[in-house]
Amino acid sequence: MNTLKHLEKGKVYLVGAGPGDPDLITMKGSKVLELADVIVYDRLANPELLGLTGEDSEHIYVGKSPNKPSVSQKQINQILVSKALSGKHVARLKGGDPFVFGRGGEECEELRANSVPYEVIPGISSALAAPAFAGIPVTHRKAARSFTVVTGHTIKGTDDFENWCHLVHADTLVVLMGVRNLPNISETLIELGKSPDTPAAVVERATFESQKVAVGTLSNIAEKASHLSPPATIVIGELAAMSHDLAWFNTEKVRADIDVQHQLLAI
């Protein structure tokens, strides 16, 4: 895919941008960015990736920020459809993976309803990258044969975790978009039968140089991670404790952060 003719006119490519580090985008994703006429990108897609695009490409920012005015999903759908129907090939650049809480399914439904051809190019989800960059395997033959990914923030007004009974038994539970609800999430899981001593971790800005990690237990992780902000990923389960030994990314900075946490707790 090295010439423009390899991209069909009037087509939308849903491209997974990965978790943040621009080097983690796939080769296919980077090639589509290079050749696309229009780049429609969100807040979690690293802006450095725009450097891969063609000089004459049109860039349209459609990022959503909590509690701030933003482009609605309906408007995003309309942009994708109208640009494609005008004969453009469009790269819809989305943080992480388009189909992992990225609303890619909704966009594909709209494209299909308007007879717009599309292709999904997977990306590395923070559900996998954040634990990995914190030294936390989500599966392990001796401790966890499975992992579960869930959103910690749903449609406005329905952040209700009472139906999480089945998640108590998850070997490794990865929660995306849940850092603001972490106290409620922890309390709910404990009330539903999860041991308060279950290891837990929170990874803020995974894969960036500014990445921060807090490690504790289900009973105290909300306090230990109180200084962290979105975007952040929560990991709950026995394997979360392995971050102490297996952390490899920014290890000097991680040790410094842990020392600061210990000093604050001692005050």
Instruction: Report how far apart, in Å, the C-alpha atoms of 216 and of each of 60, 196, 198, 200, 219 are.
Output: 40, 10, 9, 5, 8
More confident residue, 91 or 160: 91
Task: Note the pLDDT of residue 258.
Answer: 53
Calpha distance 89→117 (Å, rounded): 10
Quickly state the pLDDT bin for 145 (edges 50, 70, 90): very high
Report the DSSP pairing between strands 89-94 and 58-61: unpaired
> Are the CB atoms for 230 and 237 separated by under 8 Å?
no
Average pLDDT over residues 38-44: 96
More confident residue, 157 or 146: 146
More confident residue, 44 or 264: 44
Quickly state the pLDDT bin for 147 (edges 50, 70, 90): very high
Classify burial at 49, counting beta carbons within 10 Å of its beta carbon; exposed 0-12, middle 13-18, buried 19 or more: buried
More confident residue, 159 or 20: 20
Quickly state the pLDDT bin for 4 (edges 50, 70, 90): very low
Task: Note the pLDDT of residue 199.
Answer: 98
Quickly state the pLDDT bin for 153 (edges 50, 70, 90): confident
φ, ψ (nearest 5 deg) of residue 187: -60, -40
Pair of tokens at residue 18: 């990965």
Q: Which residues are catalytic?
A: 42, 64, 177
Average pLDDT over residues 54-83: 90
Q: What is the pLDDT of residues 89-120, one digit of tens each?
A: 999 999 999 999 999 999 999 999 999 999 99
Name the amino acid, one letter, at 128: L
Report the DSSP pairing between strands 38-41 and 89-94: parallel
> Are the CB atoms for 97 and 44 separated by under 8 Å?
no
**Average pLDDT in the chain:** 91
Calpha distance 98→78 (Å, rounded): 18
Please name each of the domains of the chain with its CATH number.
4-121 (3.40.1010.10), 126-266 (3.30.950.10)
Quickly state the pLDDT bin for 265 (edges 50, 70, 90): low
From the list 78, 69, 70, 38, the residue with the least C-alpha distance to 54 is: 38
Average pLDDT over residues 31-35: 97
Q: What is the pLDDT of residues 190-246, one digit of tens each?
A: 999 999 999 999 999 999 999 999 999 999 999 999 999 999 999 999 999 999 999
